[in-house]
Amino acid sequence: MVLVFNQQRAIWLPLRSIRHQISVLLSCSGYANWDIGVHFVDNERIRELNRAYRNKDKATDILSFPFHQVTKPEVDLPKTNLEDDMNLGDMYLAMPYILEDCKKANESVSQRLPVLLTHGICHLMGYDHEHDSDFKIMSEREDQILQQFYKLKE
């Protein structure tokens, strides 16, 4: 189940369309039947989360909180049909921060959102980008998911 929570007022969001995008992205990643929570928040809330969980006292665009502790991306996720185990986790997106980034890049939020959602999904699947080699692996997986996503949109 895809749960979407809009807890910000910086920008109007087409939640039904976003929920559908997330479902398609999950399908493209191979986790179609898995649960995920997506929270759209303001900069203050993401800053609180970033400070509490990453010791970084600043806003950021997205934070992900995996349900499962994964050391090898996708490999360590349970291979199960038990509903309780089929949860990727939650991600938080700071819409004012993202909106500002989009303005700087001359990009629309609707263009940027699938990229950020894919990034968050990859983190929930256990991917990381702390090291250059990890960044390359994660980027390749993101590209693979997004290529499939955009192909389905055609």
pTM over 0.75, yes/no: yes
Residue 104 near residue 78, CB atoms below 8 Å: no
**DSSP-based helix, strand, coil % in the chain, nearest 5:** 50, 15, 30
**pLDDT tens for each residue of 65-84:** 999 887 677 766 767 677 77
The strand pairing partners of 6, in sequence order, are 40
Element (DSSP H or E) covering residue 134: helix 132-153
User: Is a pLDDT exceeding 70 seen at residue 154?
Assistant: no
**Given its phi and psi angles, is residue 63 left (phi above 0), alpha (psi -120 to 50 degrees) or beta?**
beta
**What's the whole-number mean pLDDT along residues 40-63?**
96
Can you give the pLDDT at residue 76? 60
Confidence of residue 102 (pLDDT cuts 50, 70, 90): very high
Confidence of residue 111 (pLDDT cuts 50, 70, 90): very high
Residue 139 near residue 15, CB atoms below 8 Å: no
**pLDDT tens for each residue of 25-42:** 999 999 998 999 999 999
